[in-house]
Structures are given as structure tokens and as C-alpha cells.
């Protein structure tokens, strides 16, 4: 029973640390002048290529109103272009402009540089442990990916929506070593 309790505490701590790391790296995004939603929408379009708005809404897990506002800002800044289907004018797609792709690359590089600088300060053994953990983290991401898009059911504990941090309401910080 104590192993189960220890495992639960480790999972909670892992979730907390992932959330903190994500928030700390997201501060770098603020220099782009985009909200987290706008940044996420732009990154998805850059990564996926031209997308229908309905597909983008589903991928991002956001409603039409928020998506429309985000796209409006991205369009006004020249970061995306809306393309109306000539056969069915009700259908629209979105694609990133060269300026949008450059911005995503700059933000991604800044995040990577900040993380790399801190990793480089770690002792060699810690860097190796971190490298050894990457395949396990990739496995968790692949397993949780489909689950994170499912709607919660009943009153049981379920997975958070894809675009939400599992620790958004968690305010305590972990103990410093």
C-alpha cells in the first residue's frame, strides 16, 4: 500500500514540475506579443500546414468564438492567411505566412536556447539521466494524447483537455532541494 501512495505522490510531483517548466518556458512566448492561445494556434498551423478551421478548432480544443478572435489577431499581424474554398465558400482554411513561420521558429529557438543553457549547467550524470528519461516521456505523451482529447465522463478522475495544463489550479511550489 505504501508503494501505491509513493507512486501517487511521484505522479503529482511530476505533473507539477511539468506544469512549472511549461509556464516558465511560456514566459519567453510573451516577447512575441501573442497570447498563449494565439501562439498555440500559430504553432499548430505552422507544424501541420494548411488546415480547415474546423480541424484547427478540434485540434486546439477551443470553440469557434475564441478561435475566430485568435485568427483575427494573427491575420492582422500578417502571421496567417485565411483561404476560402472556391467550391464551397462556407469552408475556410488557414495557413501560416512566411512571417508566421519565422516567428514560430524564433520563439521555438528561444525556448530551446533557454532550456539548453540550464541543461548545460547540470552535471554530466544528471544530463544523462534526463536523456535516458526522454523515451519514457515520449511514451507517456503518445499514450495520453488520445485520452486528453476525450471528454471527461462521470465523476471519476479523468484526463484534462489537450490545451490545458493539468496543474493550472495547483498553486503550491515543490520543495527546493
107-to-37, 87, 153, 170 alpha-carbon distances in Å = 14, 36, 36, 26
Report CA torsion sign: 112, 114, 117, 123.
Answer: negative
Q: Are 53 and 92 within 8 A, CB to CB?
A: yes
Q: What was the pLDDT predicted at 82?
A: 93
Q: Where are the domains of the chain?
A: 28-147
pLDDT above 90 covers what percent of the chain?
Answer: 56
Please identify, in words, the CATH class of the domain defined by 28-147: mainly alpha
Q: Per-residue pLDDT tens for 61-111?
A: 999 899 999 999 999 999 999 998 888 888 889 999 999 999 999 999 999
d(CA 101, CA 95): 10
Give me the residues of the chain with pLDDT under 70, please. Answer: 1-9, 146-177
Amino acid at each position: 500500500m505504501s508503494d501505491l501512495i509513493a507512486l501517487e505522490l511521484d505522479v503529482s510531483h511530476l505533473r507539477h514540475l511539468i506544469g512549472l517548466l511549461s509556464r516558465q518556458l511560456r514566459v519567453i512566448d510573451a516577447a512575441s506579443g501573442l497570447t498563449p492561445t494565439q501562439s498555440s494556434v500559430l504553432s499548430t498551423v505552422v507544424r501541420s500546414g494548411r488546415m480547415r478551421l474546423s480541424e484547427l478548432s478540434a485540434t486546439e480544443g477551443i470553440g469557434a468564438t475564441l478561435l475566430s478572435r485568435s485568427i483575427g489577431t494573427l491575420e492582422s499581424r500578417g502571421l496567417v492567411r485565411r483561404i476560402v474554398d472556391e467550391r464551397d465558400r462556407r469552408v475556410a482554411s488557414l495557413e501560416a505566412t512566411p512571417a508566421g513561420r519565422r516567428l514560430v521558429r524564433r520563439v521555438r529557438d528561444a525556448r530551446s536556447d533557454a532550456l539548453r543553457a540550464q541543461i548545460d549547467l547540470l552535471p554530466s550524470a544528471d544530463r544523462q539521466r534526463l536523456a535516458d528519461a526522454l523515451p519514457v516521456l515520449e511514451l507517456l505523451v503518445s499514450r495520453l494524447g488520445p485520452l486528453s482529447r476525450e471528454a471527461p465522463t462521470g465523476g471519476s478522475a479523468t484526463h484534462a483537455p489537450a490545451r490545458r495544463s493539468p496543474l493550472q489550479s495547483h498553486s503550491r511550489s515543490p520543495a527546493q532541494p
